[in-house]
Structure 1
Amino acid sequence: MFRFIRILIADFTDILFPSLCLGCKQTLGDNERILCTTCRINLPETGQHREPYDQNLLNKFAGKVPVQFLASYLYFSKESIVQNLIHNFKYKGQKEAAKELANWYGQQLKSESNQFQDIDVIVGVPLHKSRFQQRGYNQADWIAQGLAEALNIPMRTDVLVRNEFKESQTRKNRLERWENVKTVFAVINPQAVKNKNVVVADDVLTTGATIEACAIELLKAGCKSVRVLTLAATHR
């Protein structure tokens, strides 16, 4: 009886407040999550995980920090479905969308790449505590969680911290972004990464300055290697 009532309430709620596709805003079908089938099929996937030694990608870190592997799930462009997705899970509380997208990506990586068989831990790029309190969650942690579940790799939130609050990176160039973040991260649990292969997860890769700053601290703490996964990246 109680199960029937719960189902009835859920169905009634769906009628009043239907789940909408975050891409086209149409009502989602019974087996659709986050995006409708059409929007999901049309996602601008990069396929970068099939190019593990793509020098165009790794050049973002050349001569700065040794990143062993770098790949992003989707191409980011302004006024696109990807921008809508990023905006929704960063600023509109749709953190589950970040996890779902990351899980889709993780399933691809698991079946199409051999880069993650020796990974020991996944960490998300941390937010400053004031930003975390303002937003209520860290979208990078939800991305890391989605990847971790798909790849069956432990995810930790007690490794990296962001000690300084800095203004938005959005309008800054590569040098300005680096100056803005080069001293803000720290490893608070070195034993969690010492002699281990680590994946750093984030939402969007632009210049790579934030990831670079995190990687430097992880390598200083003794981790064996750093690999990078993001949900989106600007075009080369």
Structure 2
Amino acid sequence: MNITHFVRDLLHVLLPNLCLACDTALFAHESIVCTECLYHLPLTDFHHDVNNETARQLWGKLDFEVAMSMLYLSKNSRVERLIHQLKYGNKPQIGRFLGKMYGRIINDIAKDQGFDMLVAIPIHNRKRRERGYNQAFQFGIGLSESLGIPVHENVLKRKVYNISQTKKSRSERYENVEGVFSVNPRYSMLQDKHVALVDDILTTGATLSEAGRILKLSGAKVSVLTIARA
């Protein structure tokens, strides 16, 4: 018996990896999320309908090309648990896993649209230091891997540290993000580039609309890709 395989299998029995959606032990061939949870993930079909729920949420707020979300988000769900661990549980691999998966799903529409780059919604440097990573960028890394499109974390800069949007009203969310983004001078050549903005959750669309508005002022075409639609 190969000693390396023996040690690996022994460690799997003694210290099994757990599904990050349900906490059950993963089989050796599984990674991040168990087969049962993968099967029950509430995938959207937004890539088949340009007038989908994510797009409608942004109508009148942002002039965009396409807008899509991978999953439906509901309370006390697998998706909520995954996103919570991605944002607050030091599990950046969840973002990369979901991004790689979604990239395979939207590969055709990404080619048809001609995305030039993926741009992650930035978090403030203070929050970046606290968390250790930007969850939107982790999702973008996975998308980039599947789509073969470069992903950038620093095209946009967040100038202001905002408290969480979670408990804010719709109008407060828009006020909270007004004027918080700017384009990094190192990425000034955005004229006629098709930028796919990447984020974790679309709720009211306030953050994505403001970020997209700033990109459009630099001459970019903008699309939106998120992990989930609340």
Same fold, TM-score > 0.5, yes or no: yes
- The residue matched to 1:232 in structure 2 has which SS? strand
Instruction: Give 4+ residue runs of structure 1 displaced > 4 Å after superposition.
Output: 4-9, 114-117
Q: Which residue of 2 aligns with 1:177?
A: 173
- The residue matched to 1:122 in structure 2 has which SS? strand
Aligned length: 228
Which of these residues, 19, 22, 32, is aligned with residue 21 of structure 1? 19
Distance 1:14 1:72 in 2: 34
Residues 118 and 195 in structure 2, CA contact (< 8 A), matched pair in contact too: yes
Instruction: Please list, as runs of the form range in 1=range in 2, the aligned pairs for 1:136-151 lying within 5 A after superposition.
Output: 136-151=132-147
- The alpha carbon displacement at 1:171 in A equals 0.8
Distance 1:165 1:9 in 2: 47
RMSD of aligned alpha carbons: 1.7
Instruction: Please list, as runs of the form range in 1=range in 2, the aligned pairs for 1:216-235 lying within 5 A after superposition.
Output: 216-223=213-220, 225-234=221-230
Distance 2:127 2:54 in 1: 29
Distance 1:98 1:46 in 2: 17
Q: 2:21 is matched by which residue type in structure 1?
A: G
In structure 2, relative to structure 1, the CA distance for the partners of 1:192 and 1:89 (3 Å cut) is: farther
In structure 2, relative to structure 1, the CA distance for the partners of 1:68 and 1:43 (3 Å cut) is: same
Q: Which residue of 1 aligns with 2:199?
A: 202
Distance 1:199 1:42 in 2: 27
TM-score, scaled relative to structure 2: 0.93
Q: 1:83 is matched by which residue type in structure 2?
A: E
Matched, 1:130 2:129: no
Distance 2:135 2:218 in 1: 24
Which of these residues, 24, 29, 45, is aligned with residue 43 of structure 2? 45
- The residue matched to 1:93 in structure 2 has which SS? coil
